[in-house]
Chain A
Amino acid sequence: MTNSTATPPLASGTADGPVAEVRDLSIRFRTLDGTGELRAVDDVSFDIRRGETFGIIGESGSGKSTIGRVLAGLLDPSDGTVHFDGHDRADFSRREWRQARRAYQMVFQDPSAALNPRMTILDSLLEPMRFMGGMDRAEMRQRALDALERVGLRHDMALRYPHELSGGQKQRVNIARILPLNPKLVVCDEVVAALDVSIRGEILNLFVELQRDFGLAYAFIAHDIAIVAQISDRIAVTYLGKFMELGRTDDVIDRPLHPYTVALLSAEPQPLPAHLRDRTQLRLEGDIPSPLDPPSGCRFHTRCPWATEICKHESPAWRELRPDHFTACHHATPDGLPPLEIGSDG
């Protein structure tokens, strides 16, 4: 059993090396009034492996979308590094980046947001290819129509406008837009949150199918833990800009190491009759603290039933407690968390 605290070394640049490597990443934003600084992401390290689905869960404001924007090359680190296919983002020239960035794409929650309401679907599909350059009009058109077909839309959709499409169809167009760019990593930020439950599965299956056919890697961000669990190979759990836990999906869901993961899992409402619901319930008291003034020590200590003195003062190290299963918690052991005694948290 490894118990190291070190940041993993880079496996850079090999054909089956990670598609993205993030090391000691911090993202700071100036606050609105310009006086303060907000650490949206604080010292996070991880890899996205080729062809995998890397799920990111956590509550609002925990930094999920900010990490996503870094992975799609839309935001540069304040501190730390990101390597794309083995190359440090900071070392790309403008021209090189313009060519390289097509491989790292993002799909957003609002199906309408990325589509210009006054452009036909075909024009929306051509736009990213035009930006990329290097193809004549006939070729671009052919690729656009192929992409439409690939996401299950008929060719006659090409001449329609966004308002003539349903939410699910628009989300298909958003996926079709990036396919001609041959992406390697697609950041999916709440991509089904705006869709009805009954049709989400259809879109999610499309993502899975495209991944299989094109070898895409996904960074899959969502509030709905059950969706993330059903689509991801690995899951990262974020809280106030930090990773609390990272591991293979089954390990994180069935054998969580971090109290916050336990709390998230037991807060998820289960559509089951009372006698079949999981009765181990961990209810968190209180609110999520302000990211402008995060708690000292472990950021979760103000809401954690396991918290002791050390948690208030010392930021827990990022440890690999089980193979490929990391957490930052003073109390976690390779066997999980120690039993909570009733009333031990006062």
Chain B
Amino acid sequence: MTGAPLGAAPEPLLNVRDLSISFRGRRGQPLLQVVRDLNFAIQPGERVGLVGESGCGKSVTGLSLMRLLPSTAQISGQVHLGGVDMAQASTTQIRRMRGKSIAMIFQEPMSALDPVFTIGSQISEALRLHERLPRAEERERVIAALAEVGIPAPQKRIDDYPHQLSGGMRQRVMIAIALINRPQLIIADEPTTALDVTIQAQIMELLTRLSEERGMAMLFITHDLGVVAETCQRMITMYAGQIIEDAPVDDALMQPRHPYTSGLLRSLPHFNHERGKFAYISGRVPAPQDMPEGCRFAARCAYSADGCENPQDLRSIDAKRRVRCWRSEELSLDGAVETPAPVSSQTSGLSEQMP
């Protein structure tokens, strides 16, 4: 069962097998592999966080699922979505699936929205790709969609242009566009990174609520482990183009089984940590052109030993967890918590049942 996707449940919504992605360089430069042998599955309605440092291949993975990578990309492996083999699907079939089966939300709502059209007409356009409705009915649907993502006074805002909205409101519009055709899977690539923390909290709550109400699955790409903890059920950690750990989110946070996941968790700042002392992982990620044959994290790993120079498999260590470290069973790694008492809660005059 080496490397088989987890969650043996009936039929996964998304099934990714041996996905590798390389880019052709400019003028005779060699092919650079940026994602290698990705295997994972997402069940209907499941929210999965995809984390890892900058450049590890998160966005490229998301874009490849949408078939949105530029032509310089070489992709191998299989992606099945709702039973359809995406590699065999025709361009028209793919176009039909975008929006209806799978949709994507990006970090920068301003660059994804067209400045010369009203937000209403941009949502209508997305709707019209899949459904033809009488004009009045279409407008009703758009207003309902704006209301559902929490835009106040949607009857008025529908005729606004993107620049008339705040960053948070624009991201809500992007969500409305992505969701208008009721996709089964949303890929959200850093959807809250550009937003302020109080607005981020609103958007995360909105996405979680919509996912729950509609049974919509989500792949949440982010570098923020706090966001994953608060929105996802499962966490997939990538390092240098590979999955290195896949686990239920609470297990990954409390008892990571890969030294990189542990190091990442220990690197997070915390209100309770000793003042002026920060943990970190020394060294840096190897460049794609000099990726080692063996464990890609070994050079930075505090636990590296003889044996780490061998290629590492992503092994199932129990029914719900996979890890790419041959020493995983013998290591006892720190998680997000040293003492089980987090941020003090006797602060201020807030009562526990606050809405």
Chain A residues near B (Cβ < 8 Å): 59-60, 166, 168, 196-202, 204-205, 208, 223-227, 229-231, 249, 253-256, 262-274, 276-288, 336-340, 342
The segment from B14-22, B191-199, B308-316 found at the interface with A is: B191-199
- Asked whether A336 and B197 contact (CB < 8 A) given A226-B269, A227-B269, the answer is no
Indicate if the CB atoms of B225 and A267 lie closer than 8 Å: no
**Number of B interface residues, CB 8 Å?**
61
Q: Can you list 16 pairs linking A and B with CB atoms under 8 Å apart? A: A60-B196, A196-B53, A197-B223, A197-B268, A201-B280, A224-B269, A227-B269, A230-B270, A254-B347, A267-B201, A274-B250, A279-B352, A280-B354, A283-B201, A288-B196, A339-B349
Q: Which residues, 198 to 223 on B, are CB-close (under 8 Å) to A?
A: 198-202, 204-205, 223
- Asked whether A281 and B354 contact (CB < 8 A) given A196-B53, A201-B267, A224-B269, the answer is yes
18 new A-B contacts at CB < 8 Å, known A197-B223, A199-B284, A265-B343: A166-B284, A197-B53, A198-B264, A200-B280, A201-B278, A204-B278, A230-B273, A263-B198, A269-B230, A270-B230, A273-B253, A276-B337, A276-B340, A280-B354, A284-B202, A288-B198, A288-B199, A339-B350
Which residues of A sit under 8 angstroms from B273, Cβ to Cβ?
230
Which residues of B sit under 8 angstroms from A59, Cβ to Cβ?
196-198
Indicate if the CB atoms of B347 and A280 lie closer than 8 Å: yes
Q: How far apart sit A49 and B226, CA to CA, in the bound complex (Å)? A: 33
Which residues of A sit under 8 angstroms from B344, Cβ to Cβ?
254, 278
Indicate if the CB atoms of A264 and B280 lie closer than 8 Å: no
Which residues of B sit under 8 angstroms from A231, Cβ to Cβ?
275-276, 278
Indicate if the CB atoms of B336 and A271 lie closer than 8 Å: yes
A345 to chain B, nearest CB (A): 10
Q: How far apart sit A249 and B273, CA to CA, in the bound complex (Å)? A: 12
Contact of B226 among A200, A262, A268 (CB under 8 A): A268
Q: Is B249 an interface residue (CB 8 A)?
A: yes
| A to B contact number (C-beta, < 8 Å) | 178
Among A230, A262, A336, find the residue whose CB has the most chain B CB atoms closer than 10 A: A230
Which residues of B sit under 8 angstroms from A197, Cβ to Cβ?
53, 223, 264, 267-268
Which residues of A sit under 8 angstroms from B250, Cβ to Cβ?
273-274
B317-355 vs A, Cβ < 8 Å mask (1 yes, 0 no): 000000000000000000011001011110111111111
Q: Is B299 an interface residue (CB 8 A)?
A: no
Chain B: CB-nearest residue to A269: B226
- Asked whether A269 and B229 contact (CB < 8 A) given A229-B271, A264-B198, the answer is yes
Indicate if the CB atoms of B276 and A199 lie closer than 8 Å: no
Which residues of A sit under 8 angstroms from B200, Cβ to Cβ?
267, 269
- Asked whether A196 and B226 contact (CB < 8 A) given A276-B342, A278-B342, the answer is no
Which residues of A sit under 8 angstroms from B265, Cβ to Cβ?
271
Indicate if the CB atoms of B278 and A283 lie closer than 8 Å: no
Q: How far apart sit A223 and B199, CA to CA, in the bound complex (Å)? A: 13
Which residues of B sit under 8 angstroms from A338, Cβ to Cβ?
349
Q: How far apart sit A168 and B280, CA to CA, in the bound complex (Å)? A: 12
Chain B residues near A (Cβ < 8 Å): 53-54, 152, 166, 168-169, 196-202, 204-205, 223-230, 249-250, 253-254, 263-265, 267-271, 273, 275-282, 284, 336-337, 340, 342-345, 347-355
Q: How far apart sit A202 and B241, CA to CA, in the bound complex (Å)? A: 24
- Asked whether A284 and B198 contact (CB < 8 A) given A230-B270, A277-B230, the answer is yes
Q: How far apart sit A267 and B336, CA to CA, in the bound complex (Å)? A: 18
- Asked whether A272 and B347 contact (CB < 8 A) given A201-B267, A267-B197, the answer is no
Chain A: CB-nearest residue to B196: A59
Which residues of A sit under 8 angstroms from B198, Cβ to Cβ?
59, 263-264, 267, 284, 288
Indicate if the CB atoms of B267 and A198 lie closer than 8 Å: yes
B1 to chain A, nearest CB (A): 27
Which residues of A sit under 8 angstroms from B204, Cβ to Cβ?
269
Which residues of B sit under 8 angstroms from A281, Cβ to Cβ?
354
Q: How far apart sit A231 and B274, CA to CA, in the bound complex (Å)? A: 9
Which residues of B sit under 8 angstroms from A198, Cβ to Cβ?
53, 263-264, 267, 280-281
Q: How far apart sit A287 and B352, CA to CA, in the bound complex (Å)? A: 25
A251 to chain B, nearest CB (A): 11
Which residues of A sit under 8 angstroms from B337, Cβ to Cβ?
272, 276
Chain A: CB-nearest residue to B229: A271
Q: How far apart sit A270 and B196, CA to CA, in the bound complex (Å)? A: 15
Which residues of A sit under 8 angstroms from B279, Cβ to Cβ?
201
Indicate if the CB atoms of B229 and A264 lie closer than 8 Å: no
Indicate if the CB atoms of B347 and A265 lie closer than 8 Å: yes
Which residues of A sit under 8 angstroms from B349, Cβ to Cβ?
336-340
B271 to chain A, nearest CB (A): 5
Which residues of A sit under 8 angstroms from B352, Cβ to Cβ?
279-280
Which residues of A sit under 8 angstroms from B281, Cβ to Cβ?
198-199
Contact of A205 among B224, B249, B277, B343 (CB under 8 A): B277
Q: How far apart sit A283 and B355, CA to CA, in the bound complex (Å)? A: 8
